[in-house]
Amino acid sequence: MESINNNSDITNINITHQINSYEPFNSFEYLFLLIHNVLDLFGNLFLVGPFSALNFYLILKTSVLHPNLKFILLSQSFFIFLRTIFRSYVLIIRLIFNEMIYSPTIIVFIYSAVMYFRNFLCHTIIMERLLATIWVSNYENNRSRWFTYTWVIIDLSENIRTTKQLIPTLYLHVCINIIAGLPLGLAYFKIVTSQFGVVLCVSFIVYLPITYLCFFIELSMILCHPFLRRDLRKIFKNFKCLINYGQKNNKIAAEEEQKYKNDQPTLLLKDIRGGQLIKSAGKLEADRHFRNKCVAVLLNNTKIKLLLILISNLLTLCFKFV
């Protein structure tokens, strides 16, 4: 619906001189399309792309998921990320060259095919979880001889728990499938016949909601699965520690530089009276310390001698009177 009718080969399309079957839009319609392209580009570049790549990394890193389910979820994030790349390319070209409905046929075909593959994954997830739950006793290919009925019960409960965690993702997939079929119904029943109405249905009813629903699919995968959420918290914690570490190092370096400029040592050795034991020049003041101690001892000895002399004189006088 958004394809551009061009009589030349698609590989030789000139973006600025492409032949467009649509009539010029008025200012209101142009503003509507501009808002759609900006919102769609923002959602793809800053929400869907980063979160799909992050979710792909978290799923690839974890080892608690069944290999089949892990492969399906990795494919889901990969297809969403691939669709984001091609869709962002089209939107950027639209905004740069002021072509609000620029849609090269081959690019639209690629990200539409990717979108259809992503929609099939909803049914694949349901079938995989259903098979894992019903044939839980022989779903695993490699089992040890200690595989008992107790382990069947544990595995069954784990499959049910994983299925519950995927319920929000499945709901979002169903919403995308319903939204993708709306333009077909509107065109079949001829509810929308105007040129701008068709473009509006494809843009605001299909592409823009699907972009943000893809973001919520990736977000629900991370938030509803405890191990993925735990790994995400670890990443944020490490990133925060890295930022704080850099700020702390800068603060310490600034303080050290200021102290160096002021010629103040960071560690000061004190004597027993709290005085500075090492001068700024680095010389010990042990001589001053022990000299003061010696003077104090000598003074104390002189006082004792004077006191003894006084006592002896008093005793001499007493003996004379007696």
Both tokens of 146, joined, read 């200690």
Distance of CA 14 to the CA centre of its chain: 39
User: Averaged over 78-91, what is the pLDDT?
Assistant: 93
Among 124-133, 229-238, 272-281, the range scoring the smallest mean pLDDT is 272-281
pLDDT at 164 over 50: yes
For residues 83 and 111, is the Cβ–Cβ distance under 8 A? Answer: yes
Residue 301 has a pLDDT of: 63
Query: Roughly how many angstroms between the first and final C-alpha of the chain, as a whole number?
Result: 140
Both tokens of 35, joined, read 């808002």
For residues 220 and 80, is the Cβ–Cβ distance under 8 A? Answer: no
Please report which confidence band the pLDDT of residue 69 belongs to, taking 50, 70 and 90 as the band edges.
confident
Residues 6+ apart with CB under 8 A from 172: 213, 216, 217, 220
Which residue in this structure is represented by tokens 């190092």?
249
Q: Is the dihedral of CA 93, 99, 101, 105 positive or negative?
A: negative
Among 38-52, 124-138, 230-244, 263-277, the range scoring the smallest mean pLDDT is 263-277
pLDDT at 36 over 70: yes
Residue 172 has a pLDDT of: 92
pLDDT at 150 over 90: no
User: Averaged over 75-89, what is the pLDDT?
Assistant: 93
The reported pTM is: 0.64
Both tokens of 41, joined, read 């580009």
Calpha distance 32→197 (Å, rounded): 11
For residues 121 and 76, is the Cβ–Cβ distance under 8 A? Answer: yes
Beta bridge partners of 270: 276
Average pLDDT score over the chain: 74
Radius of gyration of the chain (CA): 40
Q: All domains of the chain, ordered by start, with CATH?
A: 10-238 (1.20.1070), 268-322 (no CATH)
For residues 18 and 99, is the Cβ–Cβ distance under 8 A? Answer: yes
